[in-house]
Structure 1
Amino acid sequence: MKKDLRINSNVFSEGAMKAPNRAMLRAVGVSDEDFKKPMIGVASTWSEVTPCNIHLDDLAINAKKGARAAGGVPLVFNSITVSDGISMGTQGMRYSLPSRDVIADSIETVVGAENLDGLVAIGACDKNIPGCMIAIANAEVPAVFVYGGTIAPGSYKGKDIDIVSVFEGVGKHNNGDINDNELRGIECHACPGAGACGGMYTANTMASAMEAIGMSLPGSSSNPAESPEKAKDCVAAGEAVYHLLEKRIYPKDIMTKEAFENAITVVMALGGSTNAILHLLAIAHAVEVDLSIDDFNRMQEKVPHLADLKPSGKYVMQDLHRVGGVQAVMKLLYEAGYLHGDCLTVTGKTVAENLADAPSLTEGQDIIMPFDNPKRADGPLIVLKGNLSPTGAVAKVSGVKVKRHTGPARVFDTEKEATAAVMNNEINDGDVIIIRYVGPKGGPGMPEMLSISSIIVGKGMDEKVALLTDGRFSGGTHGLVVGHISPEAQDGGPIAFVKEGDLVTIDSEKKEISMDVSDEELKRRKQDWVAPPLYKKGILGKYAHNVSCSSKGAVTDFRK
């Protein structure tokens, strides 16, 4: 066994001063022979609080087997997870985005404190993936990310449904379109087992991005949670980390600017979540890659939207898996010149080498459209700027027929107040609903607005009213919505000074978001404004006092 595979070999070397280090490890089963091998951490976000992660304990054991078989000494440890679907529409949603940083910090802490030589990180729910990836970037040891996999679609009355169907069902119920029994039927059949939300929502979006960026094994991002392929992914990941140690390949060697461009390309082609912008900016920040919010518009202009996937399309991730998965989509994009083929990956090979023998999309499939008949000629994720959002807001325009909307502002300082207005039929066609003071600092935690956006869709108002916020939207959100408005209201951004009735315009073609208020009037409105006090208690207080603007990824460290 090669002793030099141990990055932190001095910790476990022979000598009297190292005896205490070794003694503690002997108690957990490490032998004399093992001290000559690299110590590989297996970070699992297993938990019983969400179906996304309920199966990850078994996957971690598979990764451990792979690392052990390759020649390493694997050690499993855990981090947290929270369920966005469960906390959505409640005060608990404020903890969702901060959990990304808790996950990142906890994994980095264990890797650093225990002097681990390599890392397999396994995540499933939305914040697990960027949390694991930020940890990988900061830990600076050879690493592989494994996605826990997508959930299978539910079925009700002969139709595929998912968690978003339940949220939209609430709106239909409020509108009188379905009764109590029908809503309960949707609720009881939406989530049939383990795995992350099934459409091209945030978890599947970020998993696809991590395969495209080269930090997950080829083909792994679209393998379903409850499948033989997913178990094999984990064994292979354990083996792959050992080979990365042999070749001295580090995350920074893989996650280059070009690799991030590959990730953005795949996200645009698949019609991914708006959260991808927030999370990719944060991961790039951690690995010290110069990625800005403007890079997303640059890539959006040249990458077509090809995938007919939910929330705006018909199919789910499991359907994509059946016709070749993300790997086949990457092969299609690479052969058409959209991907950088020379980027290194966790296989030790380049993207081009990985794709050389990869399967093509199944002939006759209708999930991924051809380049001459795309869902949209350019990407569906756009960054808008204007006097309402000088540093950038984010919209997903796939499936949205309205290109320009101008209407009177209906201003709310909480999601609860806005939701009540929608449910009480106080919102009129043409209105622009604004929910503010819910950004990274103001929320605190930048909560998602899937509950209210889905109710609007369920009531049939998704293209009749616009919904704007300095908070976020779920990957399951669709309709005329704009999030991540920055600077946020808490920081004195222009959204803090919108008044009821001000005319607000969203123009997706010009990528503009503005209000019909002069600069002079904005200055007058700002004169007497005082920022609300920042939240001070616990994790949310720490987050509010440290988090950056959403246009920079809402990061919490201080590296410039």
Structure 2
Amino acid sequence: MDQKPLRSRAWFGRKGKDGFIYRAWMKNQGIPDHEFNGKPVIGICNTWSELTPCNAHFRELAESVKRGILEAGGFPVEFPVMSLGETLMKPTAMLYRNLASMDVEESIRANPIDGVVLLCGCDKTTPSLVMGACSVNIPTIVVSGGPMLTGNHRGSSIGTSDVWRYHDDVRVGKVLEEELVTIEAAMCRSRGHCAVMGTASSMACMVEALGLSLPGNAAIPAADSRRKVLAQLSGSRIVEMVKEDLKLSDILKREAFENAIRVNAAIGGSTNFVIHLLAIAGRIGVPLELKDFDPLSAGIPLIANLQPSGQYFMEDLFYAGGLPVVLKALDHLLHRDSITVNGKTIAENYANAESYNKDVISTTDAPFSTATGLAILTGNLCENGAVIKPSAASAHLMQHTGKAVVFEDIEDFKTRIDTPELDVDENSVLVLKNVGPKGYPGMPEVGNMGIPIKLLEKGVKDMVRISDGRMSGTGFGTVVLHVSPEAAAGGNFAVIKTGDLITLDVPNRTLNVDLTEDEFARRKQQYEPLSPVANRGYVKLYIDHVQQAHLGADMDFLTGGSGSEVVRDSH
């Protein structure tokens, strides 16, 4: 079969003035013509930034990718895109996921790139890079940055999920603020993203389950030399993918998305997985709806014993055999023939996987927990759906009715949550509004609201909490998230009041408030939405065009793709 002409030839293979300009300015870097003219040009899309600590080792990782590209006869060109540091960005990195995806899409399309390696690690860098690449649809492979080594404090293993515990301990005086300085260093003791099954690790598992990375990518620690080996092998493989013209649309079929959903349930992955996978599906043109997640997740037990749903850490997952072992345990549930970036089926990739620690990776017949990692709720409190993570919730709250304690926005919550006069008890349902895509804006990770201090002092560890926002993948508790429509969009959630009786019924997948349709209508007539927080720039663009959570919170004008063709040609 004849090889498809290289896309980069439209730049470097041209005659006359145009070709002269394209080649001459590459040569000003000291690069001879034969290096880039006629070889597959491979872009390395790098989210390195010292403001994204999880990705701060990516310049070094990119060098390993380059070695692989050169080894396979390609020409590497590294380029930066907007980097999203979950730990530092305000008001929330999620506000900029769609902006970063636009940066990625246009950087790839506008330049002489035949294939691309996506270097991503921190939470939003993975979905934003994949979303952008999907809208261009050229050969693409993902290299994750890897989790940090497990923290250790006073002889105990710790990770990001413990942040929430330490926060509560400080509030009630069990831990002094000064002690946190020591704990900080003990927890974040190496390069890499969160050591637990938070959003970053869930995204790394997602891309491997989708078939977008080489086998084993998800769990290799960032500090392990094998991460660099995988990066070099990925560099070599992308050159071959260009020759084979193996594109994202060849890999990201409906079956691949179903595989990823089942894997996410089995590992207790982040609830953020839902909103990101929906956005990716929207970009590549695969029909996927929020309602699809529940039947695909239901009945799949938790077989990866990892925090926050379990006990262990990503480092332990790697030593136990990594994600291929999880995939093999789910063999009877997966679409085994789904193609992956190495040209093999997903089943071929995990065929020889073996669990080296049954405490970390169990089986569906003898799971670590029978609770699944995801459930989708519907009802009059969330007309278009909401999500909950049963594996990280409390069993006694899975069916619960309580009176709402409503906070109109995040400032209201911070002002009143610990006040002595707050009328709340352990049976109450905490409700936080206006932290959705439009309302905040950006849908921050504040859904796992802190327990009121007077209840913490009584020993209360968990309560039902409901919001139109998100929760960190490192978080836990009986937390209902992504309520859609959000309060700012004027749905039923907008008019819930303190004292309303709310019923959560996870076994039956419902979330309802004891109000009649007439009462909803009466309240909506009187409802006055909060004023938007921005009147210019990207934030206004975001507020005006972001879709609701059940659609993936992408921009309405970004769904789908424009392909790799450059519409206009200058010079």
Partner of 2:565: none
1:180-221, Cα deviation, whole Å (9 max, x unpaired): 343333233221121111111101011101101000111111
Deviations 1:138-176 (A, max 9, x none): 121101011000011211111111233233212111112
Q: Is the 8 A contact 2:54 2:192 kept in 1?
A: yes
The answer for the alignment partner of 1:511 in structure 2 is: 509
| Match in the other structure for 1:6 | 6
Q: Specify the code of the residue in structure 2 equivalent to 1:394.
A: V
Equivalent residue for 1:275? 272
CA change 1:5–1:379 in 2 (3 A) is farther
Residue identity in the other structure for 1:371: T
**1:93–1:448 Cα contact (<8 Å) kept:** no
Shift of 1:471: 0.8
The whole-number CA distance in structure 1 between the counterparts of 2:194 and 2:452 is 18
Q: Distance in 2 between matches of 1:293 and 1:181?
A: 44
1:361 maps to a residue whose letter is S
How far 1:503 moved relative to its partner?
0.8
Distance 1:32 1:50 in 2: 35
Cα displacement string for residues 291-334 of structure 1 (whole angstroms, at most 9, x for unaligned residues): 11011001112422211110121101110001100112112222
| Distance in structure 2 (CA, Å) of the matches to 1:212 and 1:204 | 12
2:405 is aligned to 410
In 1: Cα distance, 2:398 partner to 2:449 partner: 22
Contact 1:168 1:454 in 2 (8 A): no
Please give the residue correspondences for 1:139-158 in structure 2 after superposition, counting only pairs within 5 Å: 139-158=136-155
Pair 1:458–1:214, CA change in 2 (3 A): farther
1:38 corresponds to which letter in structure 2? Answer: P
Partner residue of 1:235 out of 232, 235, 244? 232
Contact map agreement 1:264 1:299 (CA 8 A) in 2: yes
Structure 2: distance between partners of 1:131 and 1:26? 32
Deviation per CA, 1:531-552: give whole Å up to 9, x if none: 3333323322221111001000
Structure 1 residue 430, shift from structure 2 partner? 1.1
RMSD: 2.0
> Contact 2:143/2:217 (CA < 8 Å) preserved in 1?
yes
Question: 5+ residue gaps in structure 2?
Answer: 561-571
**Aligned mates of 1:512, 1:3 — CA distance in 2:** 53
Q: Deviation of residue 289 (structure 1)? A: 0.4
Counterpart in the other structure of 1:361: 355
Pair 1:26 & 2:23 matched: no
CA offsets, 1:17-49, max 9 Å, x none? 321121222223442212011211001100112
SS of residue matched to 1:452: coil
Distance 1:84 1:229, change over 3 A: same
Instruction: Provide the residue aligned with 1:391 in structure 2.
Output: 384
CA gap of 1:390–1:3, structure 2 versus 1, over 3 A, is closer
* Distance (Å, rounded) in 2 between the aligned partners of 1:495 and 1:303: 30
Q: CA deviation at 1:451?
A: 7.0
Give 1:276-295 correspondences, 5 Å limit.
276-295=273-292
**2:134: which partner in 1?**
137
| Corresponding residue of 1:487 | 485
8 A contact 1:133–1:283 mirrored in 2: yes
Aligned-partner SS, 1:52: helix
Q: Is the 8 A contact 1:5 1:246 kept in 2?
A: no
Moved more, 97-106 or 450-459: 450-459
Of the structure 1 ranges 216-225 and 411-420, higher mean CA displacement relative to structure 2 is found in 411-420
Equivalent residue letter for 2:541: K
Task: Give the conservation status (yes or no) of the 8 Å contact 1:258–1:343.
Answer: yes
Structure 1 Cα separation of the partners of residues 333 and 550 of structure 2: 25
Q: What is the aligned partner in structure 2 of residue 533 from structure 1?
A: 531
Paired with 2:448 and 2:302, the residues of 1 have a C-alpha distance of: 26
Contact 2:4–2:245 (CA under 8 A) maintained in structure 1: no
CA offsets per residue over residues 327-374 of structure 1, 9 Å max, x none?
12112222xx11111111100111122223x33111x53012232332
Q: SS of the residue aligned with 1:200?
A: coil
Q: Does the CA-based 8 Å contact 2:447-2:465 persist in structure 1?
A: no
Equivalent in the alignment of 1:15: 15
Identity %: 34
Question: Pairwise mapping of residues 159-170 of structure 1 onto structure 2 (< 5 A)?
Answer: 159-170=156-167
Q: Where do residues 439-454 of structure 1 align in structure 2 (5 Å cutoff)? A: 439-449=436-446, 452-453=449-450
Task: Give the residue type in structure 1 aligned to 2:554.
Answer: V
Partner of 1:43: 45
Give the alignment's TM-score, normalised by structure 2. Answer: 0.92
CA contact (8 A) 2:381 2:493 kept: yes
What does 1:10-409 correspond to in 2, within 5 Å? 10-16=10-16, 17-33=18-34, 34-87=36-89, 92-94=90-92, 96-334=93-331, 337-356=332-351, 358-362=352-356, 364-377=357-370, 379-399=372-392, 400-401=394-395, 402-409=397-404
CA 1:545–1:29 in 2, change beyond 3 Å: closer, same or farther?
farther
Whole-angstrom CA distance in 2 between matches of 1:257 and 1:536: 39
- Aligned partner (choices 472, 475, 478) of residue 473 of structure 2: 475
Q: Partner residue of 2:567? A: none
- CA 1:83/1:495 → structure 2, altered by over 3 Å: closer, same or farther? same
Gaps of 5+ in 1: none
Larger mean Cα displacement after TM superposition, 411-420 or 491-500 = 411-420
Task: Report if aligned partners of 1:167, 1:454 keep a CA contact under 8 Å in 2.
Answer: no
Aligned mates of 1:27, 1:379 — CA distance in 2: 56
User: Is contact 1:168-1:458 (8 Å) kept?
Assistant: no
Paired with 2:179 and 2:168, the residues of 1 have a C-alpha distance of: 13
- Alpha-carbon distance, 1:398 to partner: 0.8
Q: Provide the rounded CA distance (Å) in 1 between the counterparts of 2:228 and 2:164.
A: 31
Question: Are the structure 2 counterparts of residues 158 and 307 from structure 1 closer, same or farther at C-alpha, using a change threshold of 3 Å?
Answer: same
Closer, same or farther: CA 166–458 of 1 in aligned 2, 3 Å: farther
**Contact preservation (8 Å) 1:208, 1:221:** yes
Q: Is the 8 A contact 1:414 1:435 kept in 2?
A: yes
Query: C-alpha distance in 1, partners of 2:546/2:530?
Result: 16
Superposition deviation, residue 421 in structure 1? 3.0
